[in-house]
Structure 1
Amino acid sequence: MKIYIKNMVCNRCIMVVKNELEKLGIHTLNISLGEVELKNDLTETEKTNLDNHLKTFGFELIDDKKSRLIGQIKSYIIEIIHQNNSELKSNLSDYLSSKLHHDYTYLSNLFSEVEGTTIEKYFIAQKIEKVKELLVYDELSLSEIAYQMNYSSVGYLSNQFKKVTGLTPTHFKNIKEIKRKPLDEV
């Protein structure tokens, strides 16, 4: 049995969910971003108890099919940007369509309807959060960040960064108050 969990967007989230499932005596086969494969089925009462327990940590069980699909779209985008750090082998629409076995138009319309933003804007927002993280760490030059994040140029990265944040990357890097967002709030 698979269950889907909203706001499970990082490796730390996976650890928290795994610990809490173990505390509740729920055995898992596999845990990944937004998704848990359970060894045994849960009763409705167990699902309700699990959902209430997870809510105390900011997570939530996702029940309906459309919400699950939205969660999967977000998880794949977050995984591409924050975990893999590798170049997307195809464009985002083809990647999501092949992973989720749905036409991209359907995915895009569903995402926009439910989230109030487009998949592309969500993807850009996630990329900018990763750029912020890299700027704060101060280990890479802006050119290296642009290359790592698959921007065609530093200028394009700077323009997109300013459009989203209202600041230039250099200004963001120089301010002392860090203005990063948790991934589940992007």
Structure 2
Amino acid sequence: MKLYIKNMVCNRCKMAVQTELEKAGLEHLSVELGEISLKEKPGDQQLQQLEKSLTALGFEMIDNQKSRLIEQIKTEIIKLVHYTDTANPLKLSTILADHLHHDYSYLSNLFSSVEGTTIEKYYIAQKIEKVKELLIYNELSLSEISYQLGYSSVAHLSAQFKQVTGMTPSQFKGLQKHARKNIDDV
């Protein structure tokens, strides 16, 4: 049985969910970003207890098909941006359509109607947060960051960064306090 969880966007989130599964006495086959595969269907009481404990940690169980699909879109984008070290040569639309087994236009329309923004804008926001993270770590040059995140050039990255944040990457890097967002708040 699969359960879908909103706001499960990092490895610490997965560990927290695994802990709650163990507390509830539920055996799981896997815990992935946004998704749990259980060995068997839980009882109503176990499910309610799990939902209560996950809610207390800031997670939300998703029970309708459209909400699950939107969460899967977000999870795929987060994995692509934050957990992949090299740029993917495929278009985002192709990746999402292949992974989620739906036509991209359907995914795009659904996402826009529910989230109030486009998939592309969400993807760009995630990429800019990743750029901020890499700038703060100061281990890669802007050129290397640009390549890693699949930008066509440093100029394109810089222009997009300025459009989203209102400052250049250099200005951001020079700030004393860096204004970063949690992945699930983007």
Q: Which moves more between the two structures, 154-163 or 44-53?
A: 44-53
Deviation of residue 45 (structure 1)? 3.1
TM-score (norm 1): 0.97
Cα distance between partner residues in 1 of 2:165 and 2:43: 45
CA contact (8 A) 2:26 2:38 kept: yes
Q: Which residue of 1 aligns with 2:150?
A: 150
Question: Which residue type is aligned with residue 152 of structure 2?
Answer: S
| TM-score, length basis structure 2 | 0.97
Distance in 1, matches of 2:111 and 2:43, equals: 30
Q: Give the structure 2 partner of residue 114 of structure 1.
A: 114
Quote how far apart the aligned CAs of 1:155 are. Answer: 0.7
Cα deviation per residue 1:64-102 (whole Å; 9 max; x = unaligned)? 000000010000000011011222231010111111111
Q: Which residue of 1 aligns with 2:166?
A: 166
CA distance in 2, matches of 1:45, 1:114: 31
How far the C-alpha of 1:44 sits from its partner, in A, is 3.0
Q: CA deviation at 1:144?
A: 1.1
- Distance in 1 (alpha carbons) for counterparts of 2:44 and 2:105: 34
Distance 1:70 1:45 in 2: 27
Count of residue pairs brought into register by the alignment? 186
Residue identity matched to 1:14: K
Separation in 2, partners of 1:109, 1:46: 35
Does the 8 Å CA contact 1:80/1:86 hold for their aligned counterparts?
no
The Cα shift of 1:60 comes to: 0.7
2:63 aligned partner, one-letter code: D
Paired with 1:58 and 1:65, the residues of 2 have a C-alpha distance of 21
How many Å apart are 1:50 and its aligned residue?
Answer: 1.2
Structure 2 letter corresponding to 1:37: S
Aligned mates of 1:115, 1:47 — CA distance in 2: 27
Unaligned runs of 5+ in 2: none
Q: Percent identity?
A: 59
The answer to whether the Cα contact below 8 Å between 2:134 and 2:145 also exists between their aligned partners in 1 is yes
